[in-house]
Amino acid sequence: MKILVCISHVPDTTSKINFTDNSTKFDTAGVQFIIGPYDDYALARAIELKEANPGTTVTVLNVGQADTEPTIRKALAIGADDAIRVNAEPTDSFFVASQIAEHAKGYDLILMGRESIDYNSGVVHAMVGDLLGLPSVSPVMKLDVEGTKVKMTREIEGGKEQVEANLPLVAGCQEPIAEWKIPNMRGIMSAKTKPLKVVDAVSVTTSVALSKFELPAPKGAVKMIAADAVADLVAKLKNEAKVL
Amino acid sequence: MSALVFIETSEGKAKKSSLEALCYAKALGGNVTAIVLGPADAASLQDLGKFGASKVLHAADSKLEKGVIQVYASVITKAMTDENAEVLVLANSSLATPVAAKVAIKTGASFASNVVELPDTTSGFKVKRSIYTGKAFCWQELKNAKKVIAIKKNAAEVIEIGGNATVTPYSVTLADADFNTTILSSEKATGDVLLPEAEIVVSGGRGMKGPEHWNMLEELAKTLGAATGCSKPVSDMNWRPHHEHVGQTGVKVAPQLYIAVGISGAIQHLAGVNSSKCIVVINKDPEAPFFKAADYGIVGDAFDVVPKLTAAIKAAL
């Protein structure tokens, strides 16, 4: 089985978000970049499938500029065999999906996170599926391959459903599909020499354009209420915050 | 601009988030057609007129009862063409968001999800989206003539305008090839308020000390007509199901009121609640970081404060 895992290179979940250049650029100062947490689940499941099925290979793909390579190397250290970097700024979902679709032909299983944690659109898997004419399922909490069939548990609002589809398939993953893997020293050493192919992006006509960023209005200071004055809280929720 | 709105149903009735999408579409100013797929309650279809639809297309084919994404995408793409709709509006959900993405590709539309405000049309057509898991927004221009807009839950208001809709059966030809996934079964919490759509959410963390103490939070939630949520450690320990986990890697909520009990407020949890209008934090540790993100805070023992709060609300409402 050939597995492709698509990873995003995103600010660590604890990052403070700021913008520069008159609110038109993301401020990378002091920001640590990581493999998207949902993509990390997809990668962990791919490695599990590789370990359980001899002959399975795992390729990681990232759409990004040269600064994403440490993130790609980390995915190789976790256990992927080789990597592809599409040398381009990931501008929007359709652009990224088009790049993935270009390289995903021939893979049996195309995994990624349910969404990237920067733009949160949560549609790249659906778009890749559409572009390649393959089924796509997300968010997947459990995924097992049985011959050419894939059995999945998908989360829905207020519950879950059991879904089945044939390979090849695109899936957007989330917890608890697998436990995140931490690279060990041997993995880190071998990652340095694993193949990382850099390719040019295919040309895509984008239909969206970012005009500016905005931060939420700052929150006022918390109002503390004594533990024995809950009636006071109820009155404030009703009359001051007007949420009851 | 003429709009098509995809209405999701639950037990035959339109979901609240879909009514939000319908009202958003109405506010765009043009003619609004709603489309409902699968069996639905006749009165509920008629009611869509009250929220802005002038026409309701109902494809009642029983094969549409289960939401197979590729099938829904094909039907809605065809309806967009049939109705000459310039924009498709729907609510972000596990079903509608992937459907929206596929329709955008099939119709060559500009696409935006997690939209939180009406567009700015002073120059072009710009929408405001929630990004960085609620920590920021961006304005994005949708350049193509056709547009697909997915609205973040609780971002648009449901306003009854009291119009009338013509309900028309919509006949569809379903391609076998589109049934590329099979939904074998589903388990859904019924009767309760759905967490992602809830106006009020009561969440518990590790401070609740065990799943056996959740009835206290459920009682408070019931009194408020609220949904219950929890922090990541709580769902990791299986005290509560995963679909109740609120946070960066769980459900993102945007209620009017979020009450957090015994949750310290890790930044990953805050990412799931930062779109809430008002946050109340109850924690016995005065240093809990969640207080900094709260509107109201009570330092106290959950087992003491929560029952008192429930009683005070019962007395006040």
Give a yes or no: residue A30 inside a domain.
Answer: yes
B109-161 residue pLDDT tens: 999 999 999 999 999 999 999 999 999 999 999 999 999 999 999 899 999 98
What is the structure's pLDDT at A218?
A: 86
* Nearest-neighbour CA in chain B from A58: distance (Å): 24
A19 to chain B: closest CA residue: B136
Contacts of A118 in chain B (CB under 8 A): 131-132
Of A13, A94, A224, which has the smallest distance from its Cβ to B248's Cβ? A13
Are residues B233 and B161 part of one domain? no
Chain-chain contact of B224 with A208 (C-beta, under 8 angstroms)? no
Residue A241 counted as domain residue: no
Residue B303 lies in a domain: yes
Residue B217 sits in the same domain as residue B104? no
* pLDDT of A144: 98
Q: Of B178, B210, B230, which one is at a domain's C-terminal end?
A: B178
CA distance A179 to A96: 26
Distance of CA A202 to the CA centre of its chain: 21
How many domains does one find in chain A?
A: 1
Whether residue A211 lies inside any domain: the answer is: yes
Question: Does residue A24 lie within any of the structural domains?
Answer: yes
Amino acid, single-letter form, for residue A141: M
Minimal CA–CA distance to B90: which of B153, B138, B39? B153
DSSP B238-256: TSS-GGGBBSTTSB----S
Rounded-to-integer distance, Cα B244 and Cα B198, Å: 12
Same domain membership, residue B226 and residue B87: no
Picking from A223, A177, A182, the residue whose alpha carbon sits closest to that of residue A78 is: A182
Whether B254 and B307 map to the same domain: the answer is: yes
The answer to whether residue B189 is domain-embedded is no
Domain boundary at B148, B178, B208, which?
A: B178
Beta carbons within 8 Å of A60's beta carbon, 6+ residues apart: A4, A5, A6, A7, A43, A72, A75, A76, A80, A82, A83, A84
The low-confidence residues of chain B, meaning pLDDT below 70, are 190-192
Task: Give residue B251's region: left, alpha or beta (phi > 0; psi -120 to 50).
Answer: beta
**B197 in reach of chain A (CB within 8 A):** yes
Report how far residue A157's alpha carbon sits from residue A208's, in angstroms, rounded to the nearest whole number. Answer: 29
φ and ψ at residue A205, rounded to 5 degrees: -85, 110
Q: What range defines the domain where residue B297 resides?
A: 195-316
Token pair belonging to B257 = 């009121």
Nearest-CA distance B159 → chain A (Å): 17
Helical packing angle, A93-104 and B96-107, nearest 10°: 80
* B150 and B228 assigned to the same domain: no
Query: Is residue B70 a part of any domain in this protein?
Result: yes
Rounded Cα distance, A170 and B98, in Å: 12
Contact B278 A243 (CB under 8 A): yes
The answer as to whether A223 is a domain residue is no
Query: B213 and B159: one domain?
Result: no
A227 domain-assigned: no
- The answer to the question of residue A116 being in a domain is yes
All residues at 6 or more sequence positions from B63 whose CB lies less than 8 Å from its CB, including other chains: B71, B174, B179
Q: Is the same domain home to B151 and B215?
A: no
Q: Is B165 found in the same domain as B21?
A: yes
DSSP assignment string, A104-146: HTT-SEEEEESS-TTT----HHHHHHHHHT--EEEEEEEEEEE
Of B178, B209, B230, the residue that ends a domain is B178
B175 close contact with A: CB closer than 8 A: no
Nearest CA in chain A to B275: A216
Length of chain B: 317
Of B236, B227, B237, the C-alpha closest to B203 is B227
State the nearest Cα–Cα gap between B42 and chain A, in angstroms: 24
Query: Are B269 and B206 within one domain?
Result: yes
**How far apart, in whole angstroms, are the C-alpha atoms of residue B184 and residue A162?**
5
- Residue B40 included in any domain: yes
What integer pLDDT is reported at residue A217 of this predicted model? Answer: 87
- If you average pLDDT over every residue of chain B, what do you get? 94
Asked if residue B249 and residue B286 are part of one domain, the reply reads yes
Partners of residue A204 in chain B, C-beta under 8 Å: none
- Chain B residues in contact with A19 by the CB 8 A cut-off are 136
The predicted pLDDT at position B163 comes to 87
- Using CA atoms, how far residue A62 sits from A184, A202, B292, in Å, is 22, 14, 36
Is residue B211 situated within a structural domain? Answer: yes
Which residues of chain B have a CB within 8 Å of the CB of A207?
108-111, 142-144
Q: Which of A10, A31, A115, A207 to mutate to test the interface with B (most CBs of B within 10 A)?
A: A207
Beta pairing partners, B281: B260, B297
In chain B, beta strands by DSSP E: 3-7, 9-10, 13-14, 32-37, 55-59, 87-91, 110-115, 126-131, 136-142, 147-151, 166-169, 182-188, 200-204, 227-230, 257-261, 278-283, 296-299
B184 contacts in A (CB within 8 Å)?
Answer: 161-164
Is B298 contained in some domain? yes
Task: State the ipTM, two decimals.
Answer: 0.93
Q: How confident is the model at residue A158 (pLDDT cuts 50, 70, 90)?
A: confident
Residue A152 half-sphere exposure, CB side, CA atoms within 13 Å? 31
Work out the minimum CA distance from A170 to partner chain B, whole angstroms: 11
Query: Can you name the residues that pair with A142 across neighbouring β-strands?
Result: A153
Is residue B307 included in any domain, yes or no?
yes
Which residue among A13, A129, A165 places its CB closest to the CB of B271? A13
pLDDT digits (tens, 9 = 90+) for B57-82: 999 999 999 999 999 999 999 999 99
- Round to whole Å and give the CA distance between A134 and A112: 15
- The chain-wide mean pLDDT, for chain A, equals 96
> Which chain A residues contact residue B195 at CB under 8 A?
157-158
Interface check for B184 against chain A (CB to CB < 8 A): the answer is yes
**What secondary structure does DSSP assign to chain A, as a single string?**
-EEEEE--EEE-TTPPP-EETTTTEE--TTPPEEE-HHHHHHHHHHHHHHHHSTT-EEEEEEEE-GGGHHHHHHHHHHT-SEEEEEES---SHHHHHHHHHHHHTT-SEEEEESS-TTT----HHHHHHHHHT--EEEEEEEEEEETTEEEEEEEETTEEEEEEEESSEEEEE-TTSS------HHHHHHHTTS-EEEEEPPP----EEEEEEEPPPPPPPPEEE-TT-HHHHHHHHHHTS---
Size of interface A-B (CB pairs under 8 A): 247
Q: Contacts for B306-311 with beta carbons within 8 Å, 24 or more apart? A: B306/B216, B306/B217, B306/B220, B306/B261, B306/B282, B307/B216, B307/B219, B308/A228, B308/A230, B309/A230, B309/A233, B309/A234, B309/B220, B309/B282, B310/B216, B310/B219, B310/B220, B310/B223
> Tell me, what CATH number does A70's domain have?
3.40.50.620
Q: For the domain that residue B43 is a member of, what is the CATH number?
A: 3.40.50.620
pLDDT given at position B11: 86
Q: List the CATH number of the domain containing B203.
A: 3.40.50.1220
Say if residue B210 is in the same domain as residue B63: no
Tell me whether residue B185 is in a domain. Answer: no
Domain that holds residue A122: 2-216
Number of structural domains, chain B? 2
Instruction: Give the closest of B138, B184, B196 to A162, CB-based.
Output: B184
Element (H, E) at B286: none
Residue B190: per-residue pLDDT: 65
Same domain, B98 and B213: no
